[in-house]
Amino acid sequence: MIESRRTPLPGSERVPLADARATHPVAASERFEVTVRVRRKTPAVDLTPHAAHAAGELPQRRYLSRAEYAASHAVEPADLERVERFAREHGLAVVATSAARRSVFLSGTVAEYERAFGTRIEQYESEGHVYRGRTGPITLPEDVAAVVEGVFGIDDRPAAIAHFQRARDTAVAAIMAHASPTSFTPPQLARIYDFPQGDGAGQCIGIIELGGGFRAADIKRYFGELGLPLPKVVAVRVDGARNAPSNAESADGEVMLDIEVAAAIAPGATIAVYFAPNSDKGFIDAITMAIHDDTHKPSAISISWGNPEKNWTLQAMQTMDEAFQTAAALGVTVCCAAGDAGSGDENPDYLAQAGARPDGRAHADFPASSPHALACGGTRLAASGTRIGTESAWNDDPLRSATGGGVSDVFALPPYQANAKVPPSANPDKHRGRGLPDVCAVADPQTGYRVRVDGQQFTIGGTSAVAPLWAGLVALMNQQLGHPVGFLNPMLYGPKGGTHACRDVTSGNNGAYSAHAGWDACTGWGSPNGTRLLQALKG
């Protein structure tokens, strides 16, 4: 075998976690799996129906079916064959391929991966955390690098944290001094936010989870107490992960919050929960599986996990953004939590879980910062019956308990935000990029959501709750319209969206950015007015 000259794979550079040190090489015989992401068949084509969205003409849009996408925009067979041949030449086993997901799934040993991808794999320790990692870029022969967009799974550090908070998580004196005893069930919020009638029948809401699990007994008890029919909840395994409930102190709180909020808003919808390992490979594989799932066919996907953009590789962010663009072409709405640590997006307590440390700068949370995601921010809500008394940007503590939002360091200002008056970044360089969030809803854990987790009742908040709330609303609108609303962002920023379709939130801040009339970088266009939004979508 004569290998062509090697070249670094753009965007694949890795640096160790804060204060991490390599303790020793990983055993050469250790085996694990890697995902190689391959270029699209028509890479120059923008799959997002921007023009139709910008005009607000949703009924006239035509989405691709999953079969049509696979036929016209997936992967050239020759490109797949090139990657498979390269893998076998280096002793790697091809476990599976998916043209639609543009992925080749490989199995191999540390020694085989080091030879194939020109990297050194070591064990790292940081603040008590241990992970398998690498530094620097991945290298590939030039002919292979020409068709590969990303290699994921060699480094298995945690990719994201869950954006949920229990009320007691923020029970410091400054918060409790103005804490309200009010909390809400999802059906109460559906009435407060004037969601349209329906139960989401015929729809599927996909939920991405990177840990934790659910118990059927909790779901049965919760929905029985709400007087709602028992929803259909399906666990989908990704990369060997599974529904693994443990206790209320774990990620079970995230899983149950997502399921209970989405299903209580749209109890007739199927809830497909994609369980994946908490790594960039697991996250990406779960997203591509959900988008291309031809069995459950989600029309909305809720993602409540994220991390500051600086903690991701460029290849991971570009890969997820492309996946969300594909979702838009298929008519799938992707709702992402905007973060729970204010404009800095670096909760000192939670980031310690991933061995990272705050740097004092403003950061946007990814994947919410993807221009093809519906970024969901958070508010503090006071209501009586179905009447909203006050609603302001959620900010109990700008470092630990406040809505995320701001300006992306990675993604340029998308065309649909050209007239939104997105401010320059709060960082010294004052750059202008994708602004987030797009929308918001109640997220303050002190005025949060009543949920059941591992046999216990909790009030839980965080922008984690806002993503499934909006996903549930999308399911109701899809049911009413008889077709998917798909990628909402350009319509929200167009003449029929904005404050015509949302309830403007004009007070409060998230640290560096303040709420005001119109779009802003902590509450977006505002909280939902479901009936007005549906009417706008009907044209």
Residues marked as catalytic: 254, 258, 464
Q: Which residues of 248-276 are buried (b: 16+ CB within 10 A; e: fewer)?
A: eebbbbbbbbbbbbbbbbbbbbbbbbbbb
Whether 462 and 378 have beta carbons less than 8 Å apart is answered as yes
DSSP 3-state of 337: strand
Closest listed residue to residue 532, CA positions, set 493, 503, 504, 505 = 503
How far is it, in rounded angstroms, from Cα 387 to Cα 369? 32
Q: Which residues of 101-134 are buried (b: 16+ CB within 10 A; e: fewer)?
A: bbbbbbebbbbbbbebbbbebbbbbbeebebbbb
How far is it, in rounded angstroms, from Cα 363 to Cα 371? 15
301, β-bridge pairs = 206, 334
Rounded to 5°, angle at Cα 224 from 223 and 226: 60
Q: Cβ–Cβ contacts within 10 Å for residue 235, how many?
A: 17
Phi–psi pair at 281, nearest 5 degrees? -65, -50
Sign of the torsion formed by the C-alpha atoms of 195, 201, 207 and 211 = positive
Structure tokens given for 145: 């690098």
Residue whose tokens read 């908490």 = 278
How far is it, in rounded angstroms, from Cα 364 to Cα 522? 11
> Within the chain, what is the greatest distance between any pair of CA atoms?
73
Cis peptide before 59 (omega within 30 of 0): no
DSSP string, 363-418: --EETTTSTTSEEEEEEEEEEETTEEEEEEE-EEETTTEE---EE-SSSPPPGGGT
Residue whose tokens read 């066919």 = 297
Cα 447 versus chain centre, distance: 23
How far is it, in rounded angstroms, from Cα 181 to Cα 163? 22
Helical (H) or strand (E) element with 276: none
DSSP state of 158: -
Sign of the torsion formed by the C-alpha atoms of 487, 490, 494 and 498 = positive
